[in-house]
Homo-oligomer: A and B are copies of this chain.
């Protein structure tokens, strides 16, 4: 009954997911791996289980009969082809973001999955599995603050690597808000605008930081997201939903409140990897359970497509300075909740 998983890509994220499946999660094991760097694949085998088979390619791994489900953690440009291949074999696939590097690529996956007839794809958006966001969504759904009207968000990193660019603020950073806010509000985006405050002196010359992204949903909700990736003080994710009768906020991560040195203080995270560590476990456990129950419920190929369309509009808004309207395709009935 243990689900047999094949993992494509043994880099940092791949290794982390393989460790999860082997040591933390219930009901699955890794039976095959592949990586363009064969040594990476051998290291994984050595670290976790000599019984894991090393495959020559992603295609071979997907085709292998002992592989019942596929994990795609290779580099982004390879995702589309691998996911389509898994669909062609009728094998469930967990694909790290991005689902594909273009909205058109995402749409091809959507069409293949719909044609295939049942949900096979889960995209690696982990925030809907975060206990805080889930509690926030529950509060909204229970009507405790009335119908949402506005959402105020911030996504702050203490610093970023030198290669981080202004557009990555959309594709690597904001992308998480683009995903989770659709899910939180059960709504789609209608337009995007980006404004640039005075740049912080702590950003490299090529990077415009911070920036504020203004989104409007089809339902008329106004969202503002501050993206500030050189905020220095910590890794801080804020989300406040203003409803017709009240407001609700994403809970802060639990930490020890102290009083010391003339200050009442609580430590903040500085490493993003710590922030959603439990959500990474939960998303993959949900995939395993979903495959075993033949009912995937997590972020779908359609969610991957919608995030890609929204990100494209935000990128356009960055350069145009104007309000950019989004023309998303209609959501197929296949993906209706």
* Partner-B contacts on A (CB < 8 A): 22-27, 131-132, 135-136, 138-139, 144-147, 149-150, 152, 154, 158, 195-202, 210, 212, 214, 216, 219-222, 224, 226, 228, 231-234, 236, 242, 244-270
Contacts of A145 in B (CB 8 A): 258, 260
Contacts of A250 in B (CB 8 A): 256
Q: How far is the CB of A134 from chain B (nearest CB, A)?
A: 10
- Checking B136, B214, B220, B257 against A256 with a beta-carbon cut-off of 8 angstroms, the contacting residue is B136
- Checking B26, B210, B233 against A261 with a beta-carbon cut-off of 8 angstroms, the contacting residue is B233
Query: 9 closest pairs, A vs B, by CB?
Result: A198-B220, A246-B260, A265-B265, A197-B222, A251-B254, A232-B245, A263-B265, A264-B266, A248-B258
In the assembled complex, 21 residue pairs joining A and B whose CB atoms fall closer than 8 Å, in A order, are: A136-B256, A139-B256, A139-B258, A149-B200, A195-B222, A197-B220, A197-B221, A202-B245, A210-B242, A226-B242, A231-B242, A236-B259, A247-B258, A247-B259, A247-B260, A248-B257, A249-B257, A252-B264, A259-B268, A262-B267, A262-B268
Q: How far is the CB of A46 from chain B (nearest CB, A)?
A: 15
Contacts of A146 in B (CB 8 A): 200, 232
Contacts of A234 in B (CB 8 A): 259, 262-263
Count copies of this chain in the complex.
Answer: 4
Residue in chain B with minimal CB distance to A201? B244
A25 vs B25: C-alpha distance in the bound complex, in angstroms?
6
State whether A266 and B263 are in contact (beta carbons under 8 Å apart), knowing that A24-B26, A222-B195, A254-B253 are contacts in the complex. Answer: yes
